[in-house]
Amino acid sequence: MKVFKFGGASLESIERIHKVGAIVQSFPDEKLLIVISAMGKTTNELEKVAQNFFLRKREIAAQLLYNIEQQHLEVAAALLGTREHPLFRQLQQFFTEAEWTLGEKPMRSYDYYYDQLVSLGELLSTAIISAWFNQAGIPNTWVDVRDVFRTDDNFRDANIDWAFTQRQVTEKVLPLFNNVNVVIAQGFIGSTDQNESVTLGREGSDYSAAVFANMLDAESQTIWKDVEGLKNADPKLFPNTVNIPEISYSEVIEMAYYGAQVIHPKTIKPLQNKQIPLYVKCFLNKDLPGTLIREDADHAQLPPIIVLKKNQVLITVTSRDYAFITEDKISDIYDIFHSLKIKINLMQNAAISFSCCIDNNPEKIEQLIKALHHDFKLAYNEGLELLTIRYAKDGLLEELCNGRTVLLEQRSAVTVQRILK
Ligand code: ASP
Ligand code: MG
């Protein structure tokens, strides 16, 4: 059994959806659990529906939802060549449920309504792809993953109840493969024990696929993207990026930690636990080598890995009484960051000061200043970038920092980080 994940970009146009079909057809004898995310930018559009609903701008919300409905009906009709198909009744039901939600007075949290509305994207995309696959000669079974993935009620970042979900996968999903080779499920969503829809965090479909791979003891997972594979830097920010043929689980976790937007960070652990290899491949050309992620990856050819985090703020906290910033003070400072849910991207301390780099979030910074100002002076410097290079080659750091002011630098055996203005 293999697990495949297709993201929004692979469902962005009819032409691309046909490519997805061709890829699946090229594995005729394989049992495939296919996880699919919402089409194109649907999740962003649904977020706007949720926002407007919560602001009680019901008409705008309804109009945005209507636009999403029309787009999906058009795609479905173009794929199937008709509007006379049971799929259209199924889609109608999904929209009717969403419209009911829009008719409610928002009495619960925003995150709750967000999940009830935003989960629609994956239900629509999977229903459409499943119906079209069946018509196009790829017999498959559609699964409502909300009957399988049980979570807590931490809406928008729900945590999976591992034991319950494993039981559902074994008892409900696995037997489906007795009748078909292809099972299609939604990424990104799940359900509480009260049958409320939840989401697992933006871009969470990679993680959903990894949970399936773990629980089905899959031989591999493949994430099909519109790029060649993992690159050593973001091609939108750097010229001359190269593909990484092979890389270890832990290196990918490091990349994600430093801010590379590669694969959803939660994805690796379920795979690593069962030593399931993860392939990142290009659905536009499946013959490109892509990237293999596994435990004992061959790093001999690993290029320098470059991660740039923009819109950073360097905060310097100094004690008011010139007292040393020792362990107890650092612990107090950390507690404050923790309680405000501010992630520290880099930190350094000196005798009477503590410096750290965080994402720019003016609201949070204001709360931070309030919380610290009794005991500390706080200075900050905005509009910065945090550059991280692992396995830097001679001259690369200088080349990337050319003409920039370096505010802080930190080095370890393989990693160098600089805060740049
Ligand atoms: N559709 C969701 C998102 O855009 C989940 C995913 O794509 O993985 O965040
Ligand atoms: Mg997506």
Domains, in order of start, for the chain: 2-226 (3.40.1160.10), 305-420 (3.30.2130.10)
Largest CA distance in the chain: 77
Residue nearest to atom 2 of ligand 1 (CA): 203
Give the pLDDT score at 341. Answer: 87
Query: Does 336 score more than 90 pLDDT?
Result: yes
Distance in angstroms (rounded) separating the CA atoms of residues 107 and 50: 14
Query: Does 264 score more than 90 pLDDT?
Result: no
Q: Which atom of ligand 1 is nearest to the CA of 121?
A: 1
Cα 291 → chain centroid: 18
- Token pair listed for 257: 């930690």
Q: Which residues in 267-298 are b (16+ Cβ under 10 Å) and which e? A: bbebbbeeebbbbbbbbeeeeeebbbbbeebe
Q: Output the CA 44–ligand 1 centroid distance in Å.
A: 9
Per-residue pLDDT tens digits for 223-241: 999 989 999 999 889 988 9
Query: Does 81 score more than 90 pLDDT?
Result: yes
Ligand nearest to the CA of 205: 1
Q: Is the dihedral of CA 197, 198, 199, 205 positive or negative?
A: negative
DSSP 184-211: EEESSEEE-TT--EEE-STTTHHHHHHH
Q: Output the CA 351–ligand 1 centroid distance in Å.
A: 45
Model confidence, pTM? 0.91
Give the pLDDT score at 301. Answer: 82
Average pLDDT, the chain: 95
Residue with token string 């359900």:
191
Residue nearest to atom 7 of ligand 1 (CA): 203
Pocket of ligand 1 (CB under 6 A): 7-8, 37-38, 43, 121, 187-188, 202-205
Q: Are strands 344-349 and 353-359 parallel, antiparallel or unpaired?
A: antiparallel
Give the pLDDT score at 120. Answer: 98
Residue nearest to atom 5 of ligand 1 (CA): 203
Per-residue pLDDT tens digits for 157-206: 999 999 999 999 999 999 999 999 999 999 999 999 999 999 999 999 99
